[in-house]
Chains A and B, each alone.
Chain A
Amino acid sequence: MSVNYGSKRLVVGAHYGLRDWLSQRITAALMVLFTLLVLGQILFTRGPIGYETWAGIFAAQWMKVLTFTVIIALAWHVWVGMRDIWMDYIKPVWLRLSLQVFTIVWLVGCAGWAIQVLWRL
């Protein structure tokens, strides 16, 4: 086992546990269910889909709460996945850490924007 403390502390690891693996799968399952829910409503609509139908899907409060949860789940899921990509292909710690910080900023920004769009309906 290599030294993992002081100036040798690994700051860009996956913490080597079950948590990330499991959270990626649970968030994935939630997003599959959400996809089927939204897609089903679109596919079973007769005729062209106008604004009323589309906005109507997200009108109910429970749907807003569910969509909010899915946005958070998505950000979490993407964080685990993108960090895996950086850990596999990017070796210099400074660059990997920079890309991980960029990923977090990107995802938090996108999540904030999506939630704003959702809740001003």
Chain B
Amino acid sequence: MTELVTSSRPQRPEFRNINAFKDLPSYRLPIAGVVSILHRVSGALMFLLLPFIIWMFDVSISSEISFARFTALFNIGIAWNWSSFLFWSFAQPVVLSLPGWLFKLVALALIWAYLHHLIAGVRHLWMDINHAVSKEFGRRSAIVTLVFSLVLTALFGAKLFGLY
């Protein structure tokens, strides 16, 4: 009886979750989907860089001297002496020096992440309030989100790198 039933049934299609390596390179993500995944990526990036953000807040606001250090960070860079943190000693002091442009680049990434997250978030709030969930609105507002976040990032970035 069981055999009869299974043999007479046609082969049914089997759906599985998408595979990151096999399916994602050829996956045609709609532009609203691009905004959505970037919302996540930007949020995760800011989460991971949260100590760096608070450290910048600390250095910039604690005193006039530390404020000067903060501006020098972006213009000149920083040299960290790790010697006192290590358990063994070397003849030369162990110094990690990072150039100013690296900090500017990380700051630019944070500026983009914040702007994208904020604008994509406002888009979410707008959709929640107005029940604006049509396919066409999703597409148009996604384009607006990308344009606004990228143009504003370019503006702030130009200021950051001293173009105006």
Interface residues, chain A, with chain B CB atoms under 8 Å away: 25, 28-29, 32, 35, 50-51, 54-55, 58, 78, 81-82, 85, 103, 106-107, 110, 113-114, 117, 120-121
Contacts and interface: CB of A to CB of B under 8 A. Distances in A.
Given A35-B118, A110-B51, A117-B58, A85 B44 contact: yes
Nearest to B66: A51
Contacts, number: 53
A106 B60 CA distance: 22
The listed residue with most A CB atoms (<10 A of its CB), out of B43, B61, B118, B122, is: B61
A35 B60 CA distance: 17
Interface residues of B, number: 23
Nearest to A35: B118
Contacts of B43: 78, 81-82, 85
B54 interface: yes
Given A78-B47, A81-B43, A117-B54, A25 B128 contact: yes
A106 B61 CA distance: 22
Q: DSSP majority for the B interface?
A: helix
Contacts of B67: 50-51, 54-55
B63 to A, nearest CB: 8
The listed residue with most B CB atoms (<10 A of its CB), out of A25, A85, A117, is: A117
Given A32-B122, A58-B61, A114 B54 contact: yes
Given A58-B61, A113-B58, 15 more contacts: A32-B118, A32-B121, A32-B122, A51-B64, A51-B67, A81-B43, A82-B43, A82-B44, A85-B40, A85-B44, A110-B54, A113-B51, A113-B54, A117-B58, A117-B61
Contact of A54 (B58, B61, B68, B125): B61
Given A32-B118, A81-B43, A82-B47, A114 B57 contact: yes
A73 B63 CA distance: 26
